[in-house]
Amino acid sequence: AQTVTQSQPEMSVQEAETVTLSCTYDTSESDYYLFWYKQPPSRQMILVIRQEAYKQQNATENRFSVNFQKAAKSFSLKISDSQLGDAAMYFCAYTGANSKLTFGKGITLSVRP
Amino acid sequence: EPEVTQTPSHQVTQMGQEVILRCVPISNHLYFYWYRQILGQKVEFLVSFYNNEISEKSEIFDDQFSVERPDGSNFTLKIRSTKLEDSAMYFCASNSQGALYEQYFGPGTRLTVT
C-alpha cells in the first residue's frame, strides 16, 4: 500500500521569505502523480501543484515549485516570496493506478507579517 | 471555470438519522470520489465510482454508506444511520480520466452528528 508522510506538523515563515515543506512517500508503482493541496480556513481543497513521476523536470507554478527526488521518494514544496494569503494547511498527496488519492497528515503554515 | 459543487454546506443531524450529501461533479467528468476529513486530521479516501458502479472503497466505507448517481448530474453519499464519529467534512471530487490525474474537489459538506 502507498503511504505519504509529512513529519513536520507546522512551520512558520516571514512574509517575503522562502519556505520548504517536506513530504516523503512510499510506493512500488513506477507510474504515479504527486500533488500539493492547500486548505485554507474555509477548508476548501485547492490544488497548488502536481508532478508526474515520469517527468524528471521539477514542476513550477509561479511562486511554487517542487523538488522531486524519485529515487529518494521525496517531494518537497518550496514557496518563494511568501504572502499572508499562503497561510493554510498544506497536504501532500499521491495517486497511482487505482486512482484514489492518499494524503499525508498535513502541515500548518503560518506567515508572519 | 467549471467547478464541483456540494450541498448542503453544513448539515446537523441526530445520531441514528439518515443523511444524504449531494455533489454535482464537473459535467464532462466520468470518475467520482468521496473523501472524509475528521477535524484536525488528514483527508481519507472513502469510495470511487465509475460507470455507475463502485470502483474501490476503503475500510471506512462500510454497510452504513452508499453512493448513487441518480441522474446525469448528481452524485450522492448516503449514511444510513449516523454515528457521532461520522462528524467530519465530506469532500466530493471528480476527474475525466481516472487514475493518474488530478481530482477537482468540491467545497465540502460539514456534517455534525449530535
- Chain A, nearest residue to B107 by Cα: A44
Mean pLDDT over B28-40 rounds to 93
Mean pLDDT over each residue of chain B, to the nearest integer? 93
How close A52 gets to chain B, by Cα (Å)? Answer: 8
pLDDT tens-digit map of A74-96:
999 999 999 999 999 999 999 98
First to last CA, chain A: 41
How close A109 gets to chain B, by Cα (Å)? Answer: 14
If you search the block for the grid coordinates 498535513, which residue do you land on? Answer: A106
**β-strand partners of A60:** A65
Q: B28 pLDDT exceeds 90?
A: no
Chain B contact present for A89, CB below 8 A: no
Amino acid of residue A8: Q
pLDDT greater at residue B98 or residue A56: A56
pLDDT tens-digit map of A44-75:
899 999 999 999 899 999 999 999 999 999 99
If you search the block for the grid coordinates 524528471, which residue do you land on? Answer: A56
Which one of B43, B91, B99 has the shortest CB-CB distance to A96? B99
Best B103, B110, B111 member to test A by mutation, with max A CBs in 10 Å, is B103
Q: B8 pLDDT exceeds 80?
A: yes
How close B9 gets to chain A, by Cα (Å)? Answer: 11
Q: Which three cell numbers stand for residue B34?
A: 468521496
Going by pLDDT thresholds of 50, 70 and 90, the confidence category of residue A97 is confident
Mean pLDDT over A15-24 rounds to 98
Q: Which three cell numbers stand for residue B114?
A: 449530535
Torsion of CA B58, B62, B64, B65, to 10 degrees: 20
Chain B contact present for A96, CB below 8 A: yes
Which one of B45, B89, B105 has the shortest CB-CB distance to A100? B45
Which one of B31, B89, B107 has the shortest CB-CB distance to A99? B31
